[in-house]
Amino acid sequence: MNVLEQEFIKGFVRMCSDGFAQGWHERNGGNLTYRMKDEDIESVKNAFSYQRDWYPIQTEVPYLKGEYFLVTGSGKYFRNVELDEEANIGIVEIDETGTKYRIVWGLKNGAVPTSELPSHLMNHEIKKLVTHGEHRVIYHCHATNVIALTFVLPLKDEIFTRELWEMATECPVVFPRGVGVVPWMVPGGKEIAVATSQLMKKYDVAIWAHHGIFCSGADFDLTFGLAHTVEKSAEILVKMLSMSSTKLQTITSDNFRDLAKAFQVTLPEEFL
Nearer to ligand 13P, 28 or 161 (CB): 28
Part in contact with ligand 13P (CB under 6 A); list of ranges 29-37, 101-109, 177-185, 231-239 = 29-37
| Residue 89 host element (H or E) | strand 89-94
The C-alpha atoms of residue 62 and residue 116 are separated, in whole angstroms, by 18
Distances (CA, A) of 155 to 89, 146, 147, 167, 271: 33, 12, 11, 18, 15
187 belongs to the binding site for ligand 13P (CB under 6 A) = yes
Question: Is 170 a catalytic site residue?
Answer: no
114 belongs to the binding site for ligand 13P (CB under 6 A) = yes
43 belongs to the binding site for ligand 13P (CB under 6 A) = no
Part in contact with ligand 13P (CB under 6 A); list of ranges 2-10, 23-31, 159-167, 217-225 = 23-31
The C-alpha atoms of residue 182 and residue 185 are separated, in whole angstroms, by 8
Part in contact with ligand 13P (CB under 6 A); list of ranges 62-70, 110-118, 153-161, 199-207 = 110-118
Contact string 57-96 vs ligand 13P (x = CB under 6 A): ---------------x-xx---------------------
The C-alpha atoms of residue 117 and residue 12 are separated, in whole angstroms, by 16
Of 116, 125, 204, 231, the one binding ligand 13P (CB under 6 A) is 116
| Cβ(204)–Cβ(177) below 8 Å | yes
Shortest separation between residue 146's beta carbon and ligand 13P, angstroms: 14
Q: Using the Cα atoms of residue 198, residue 35, residue 128 and residue 177 in order, give the sign of their dihedral.
A: positive
The C-alpha atoms of residue 265 and residue 54 are separated, in whole angstroms, by 44
Beta strands across the sheet bearing 55-56: 55-56, 100-106, 89-94, 68-72, 31-35, 137-141, 212-217, 205-208, 180-182
With CB under 6 A as the rule, give the number of residues binding ligand 13P: 13
**Choice among 116, 125, 166, 231 that is catalytic:** 116
28 belongs to the binding site for ligand 13P (CB under 6 A) = yes
Binding site for ligand 13P (CB under 6 A): 28-31, 72, 74-75, 114-116, 140, 187-188
Task: Just list the catalytic residues.
Answer: 116
